[in-house]
Chain A
Amino acid sequence: MNLPIYMDYQATTPVDPRVMELMTPWFSTKYGNPSSRSHPFGWEADQAVENARAQVAALIGADPREIVFTSGATESNNLAIQGIARFYKERGNHIITAVTEHKAVLDTCRYLESEEGFQVTWLPVDSKGRLDLAQLEAAITEQTILVSIMAANNEIGVIQPIREIGALCRRRNVFFHCDAAQGVGKIPMDVEEMNIDLLSISGHKIYGPKGIGALYVRRKPRVRLKPVLFGGGHERGMRSGTLPTPLLVGFGAACAIAKEEMVAENQRILALRQRMTHGLLNRLTHVEINGDLEHRLAGNLNISFAYVEGESMMMAIKDVAVSSGSACTSASLEPSYVLRALGVNEEMAHTSIRFGLGRFTTEEEVDFVIETVVQAVEKLRDMSPLWEMAQSGVDMQSVQWDAH
């Protein structure tokens, strides 16, 4: 077993060696610009691009012509939300999203609200991180053009009722965008069955390379977008810029592997997560699992360890690469906005650790992490005066702290 152990698969994943092997020739040997129409270097690159497009489409039950390649899920989310808002602004100015969405969705909606005159409804979630469908339905107005809800949350892995949301949006004639950066390749996603109009996918969350992603854009009934990037007219005019063939080949291969192996892989990862959950809960008290355990990605475990400060914990288990919040914000000391939205109090939010399990996680690693975490928590609690007070029966919530 090699140290450190990587347990941050929701932040990013290593490129699968099988993907790497397929990508490699496209850098230095088959290097044509897929837009070059005048020679075989261009033709073979174009063929590789279309092959990748078909692989991505197959994973989500789409037609290849509905796939727009982007530089990643952040760009996909921006293109979907800005693109719909600006194209359909005459039809309405109201967007609905949820407070636990990724920053790429939240900040884009906030931008449209402050700069371009849109109104945004920020739906709350329950204490398990799930959305209330009745609340969503009640929020839809005559002015609503878009509902943007993620498939699975990046911090707590909670899966939203996508099928039901899709049906609701279709019934109410509102476009449904789903940020599935954490969902695709991990849980079955089918744009037809789920009535999804726009779907964001990321390459590097599914053992493909960084710098590549896709936006699914429905053709029937047709969904139209105002592009964000112009010039050259690539991707049917929806996203200009030379297509990075090697990254596309890698992304396509990653999707093909996911399609093939997802079911078996999920079972294996789920068993590992359960082993880890039981291992920790059997040996530690005052531990809370954040987020719904039933509707959850197999590879996510988000736990708060009371009386242990998150950052100290990360230092104490430095042989294990984990995150104490979303990777995008983990350099900040703000408690996770996702956990706060679940009603987790500030202290418990600060003590949370996200364990992300994935394709290369082994049982041996899980056992090592259990052992390391248990020892670290016990040691840190031994040093904590708060823990001592709690152990001696002081009700921490009732303590009146003096300001000095």
Chain B
Amino acid sequence: MHAQQRLAAWQVAQRAIAPYHRAMTTPSLTAVLVECAIGSGMFRGEKAVTIETADAGPVSLFADSRLVRERARRSLLEAYADEHLLGDHEPVVQVLLPTETFETGSQLIRVQRSRVHLIGDPQ
């Protein structure tokens, strides 16, 4: 096989494994703010939070009050997301919540990227 053919084959293979490589390398979780609706919690130090997911409808959880922020008439919950996915302009991102939701029983939800903000972003 000529060098050019080998290079082309290598490039095809790299493109094929790229999504798997990305998922298997250790990602960096970064703090993000997720748009949500806020209600009273059961305890003084918590809020009832409702988030619209991309694929499972609205989900709710209780979160510590200090994780909830109000900016420009929007309520935001502090959570985590993988940094490299936020930069990939993915339409939907996976978010790690501070606790599981009642409706899905998971800390992980999928949210429209437009509803997820980096902590330092202007709101």
- Asked whether A and B interact, the reply is no
Chain B contacts to A: CB under 8 angstroms? none
